[in-house]
Amino acid sequence: MALLPILRYPDPKLHTKAKPVAVVDERIRKLVHDMAETMYEAPGIGLAATQVDVHERVIVIDVSEDRSGLLALINPEIIARDGEQTCEEGCLSVPGIYDTVTRSEHVKVRALNEKGERIEFEADGLLAVCVQHEMDHLEGKVFVEYLSPLKQNRIKTKLAKKARITA
């Protein structure tokens, strides 16, 4: 297993739309394991392949307190959504930035797991938010794009300044 470098906003590669995975094979399983290791190390609760510069439809999520609930979702799709909730979100590609985003409160998801088996599940609360947030990455969208242009510019400026200081 290996830690993968996480792209930082506003890297244009974060806006690449991910392609479907044709076959779940050892390469994809290794990607899932490397992504999980990277997510846990960061630390975070979700990571999309787009964030590690792999533009395929793969996400990993674990919203458990003890890292026992890892979900690998390959070619995920939301097949139903209901309600509305507003939560504070952060992102491993936008470190140190948090803001509120409104998303569906309840989602039904269909995907393949890392064995290539079809799975379906329903999610609400934090898991629903995380699924939607990570699926946005697969579409080339970062959560800050839900914010006003003024806030987006402030975030870009803050991150650029932080990058200059740490360089």
C-alpha to C-alpha distance for 1 and 167, rounded to whole angstroms: 27
C-alpha to C-alpha distance for 107 and 48, rounded to whole angstroms: 18
Cβ(54)–Cβ(7) below 8 Å:
no
The residue among 67, 44, 61, 63 whose CA lies nearest residue 113 is 61
Catalytic residue among 26, 120, 134, 139: 134
Query: What single-letter amino acid sits at 28?
Result: I
134 is catalytic: yes
Token pair 């402030």 in the structure block, residue: 154
137 annotated ligand-binding residue: yes
Q: For residue 57, what are its two tokens? A: 């439809």
106 annotated ligand-binding residue: no
Q: For residue 141, what are its two tokens? A: 């969208």
130 annotated ligand-binding residue: no
Binding residues for Fe cation, by number, are 91, 133, 137
Binding residues, by number, are 91, 133, 137
Positions marked active-site: 134
